[in-house]
A = this chain, B = another copy of it.
Amino acid sequence: MGVARATSTAPEDGAMGDAGEGAGAPAGTLDGAMLRRALGGFATGVTVTTALGPDGRPAGFTANSFTSVSLEPPLVLVCLGRGAASYPVFAQADGFAVNVLSADQQEVARVFATRGADKFASVAWGPRETGAPVFRGVAAWFDCRMRERIDAGDHVIVIGEVIGFGRAAAAPLLYCGGRFAALDSGVRLSVVARAGDAILTREDGRGLRLPTAAAFGPADDPASLSGLIARWCEGAGRPTPLHSFDEPDGAHRVVYAVDADALRPSGPSWRATPVAGAADAMACPLEVEAVRAALSRAVRHRS
């Protein structure tokens, strides 16, 4: 498939080749695949933009190039490839509708990005004022009167004036790095890493902090919890859940425990802090009260 972010980023781009910070391509020698991957670094929602054809049959395409432009008057735009199957319909339509897909509409996105699929059979829809189809279950929709079509390279920028709209509380479907994605659920993962009487922590003036990451793995991602554990703890066993609590900002923290043969904290801020027993752990300044409970529990568990 390929969500048509103008320069359609196909899912197989998901490997996200890393051009590296500061790696720039000089003028005239741009690598198309690298450019698509870099453009995929900008996360977006996913839309299916629809219009009614001259034969009364609806047409639509998956795109993440939707952008709001102006409030007075209310204008939005979406970019459409000249080679798209639905291009002829949009080249003459008097109006169109933008369907902002919700997190559970991945399949709709796929169908409308596939040539030849029986697109409108796969979703419940009804026509809006312009005649363009609006889908059931979308996160938001905009019914638009066609204002302007602007040629721009291999695409056309379609600008419409919003004449009707609606939204639901549904979480939106996201597209980033060539993959569908969803909004963060607000879960943070931490680990109490222990070796002998030492616990790996960071002291940053606000208290002791545990190694924390937003994702659990994979182990070869140095920013994940598994990656931290692999980097710092020689011979570490599998982390086991130890404690969980809600943080003041609403995030939910799950604390794991891992036993390691050796702690090798690297970098200037992390260090192995000796914690002889529960009394010592309780005497440490801790980032939040709940981390004190986690450490205390970890120490009790060991002794």
- Supposing A164-B25, A215-B187 touch, asked if A43 and B77 sit within 8 A by C-beta, the answer is no
Of the candidates B24, B70, B71, B181, the one whose C-beta lies within 8 Å of that of A184 is: B181
B185→A183 contact, CB < 8 A: no
B24→A165 contact, CB < 8 A: yes
Assess whether A214 is interfacial by the CB under 8 Å rule: yes
B187→A216 contact, CB < 8 A: yes
Stretch at the interface among A108-116, A239-247, A262-270, A274-282: A239-247
Interface size on A, residues (CB 8 A): 99
> Hey, which chain B residues are within 8 Å of A167, CB to CB?
18-21, 23, 37-38, 41
B23→A166 contact, CB < 8 A: yes
Assess whether A235 is interfacial by the CB under 8 Å rule: no
Cα–Cα, bound, A164→B25 (Å) = 5
Q: Which B residue sits closest to A244, measured CB to CB?
A: B241
- Supposing A69-B152, A215-B187 touch, asked if A42 and B32 sit within 8 A by C-beta, the answer is no
> Hey, which chain B residues are within 8 Å of A137, CB to CB?
21
Q: Which B residue sits closest to A155, measured CB to CB?
A: B70
Q: Which of A237-261 contact B (CB under 8 A)?
A: 239-244, 246, 250, 252, 254-256
Contact with B along A1-22 (1 / 0, CB 8 A): 0000111000000001011111
> Hey, which chain B residues are within 8 Å of A43, CB to CB?
43-45, 172, 174, 183
B154→A72 contact, CB < 8 A: yes
Q: Which of A57-74 contact B (CB under 8 A)?
A: 65-74
List 5 A-B pairs, minimum CB-CB distance, nearest first. A70-B153, A241-B241, A41-B140, A216-B252, A24-B164
